Structure 1
Amino acid sequence: MSQKLVLIIDDDYRNIFALKAVLRAKGFGCLSAPGAKEGFAIIEENENIAVVLMDMMMPDMDGYQAISAMKKSEKMWNIPVLAVTAQAMVGDKERCLSAGASGYVSKPINVDELVEQIEEVTKTGD
């Protein structure tokens, strides 16, 4: 079985660096993109993306728009998305989930919670 890959879409390279470091330490393969359009291109080229960690606050296309675009795409609709956001206000989690996210993690990220959510949304019936 090929390794589950986590695609991190975040416009802040420091977040990408930190997430890659902790996820690789936990045994995940990671790819990253600085924006949704670049992330979509990676998905087009790679069959092994198991989950997308989507920063919700990005220039150009924010996470809500990106999740909406993914859910309308034949190639991407079934890839789970975990919303990653510094927006931890009342209602933000619900807004992310109603936009189509499979889960929600607020910054600063609790690594154990993140890994638990990744495991949950990437479970297969095998």
Structure 2
Amino acid sequence: MNLTVVNPVQLAENIAMLDQMTGGRVFVGFTRGNTPRWTATFGQHLNVRSTESDNSELDRRNRAIFYENWKIVKALWTNPTIRIEGHFWKVPREVEWEFWPTNDHAAHTVDRGI
């Protein structure tokens, strides 16, 4: 699995579910991506390119994304909750709740002491 081109939270969840369904028989391996067309196509949201291990700027970026994604996947598999403020990902992501009926109801609930 090319770890540099996927959402690490979604990947961790999918593999964990597969592991549950197979009774704990899942083994997984990750790569940084070695097929230029595939990596460039699926990794475009992070501007990822397939690179050689030449310590170039693209190679360093590819490695940074790989290690940050691995850190998130491993943390999700080994901790009940996580908070990671990385360079490429923020987990959990801040979400503004703008659905006014819920906000209004919650405010009245707090006012009533419920």
TM-score, normalised relative to structure 2: 0.29
The structure with the largest helix share of the pair is: 2
Does 1 or 2 have the higher relative contact order (CA < 8 Å, sep 6+)? 2
The structure with the largest strand share of the pair is: 1
Considering only CA atoms, is the larger Rg found in Structure 1 or Structure 2? 2
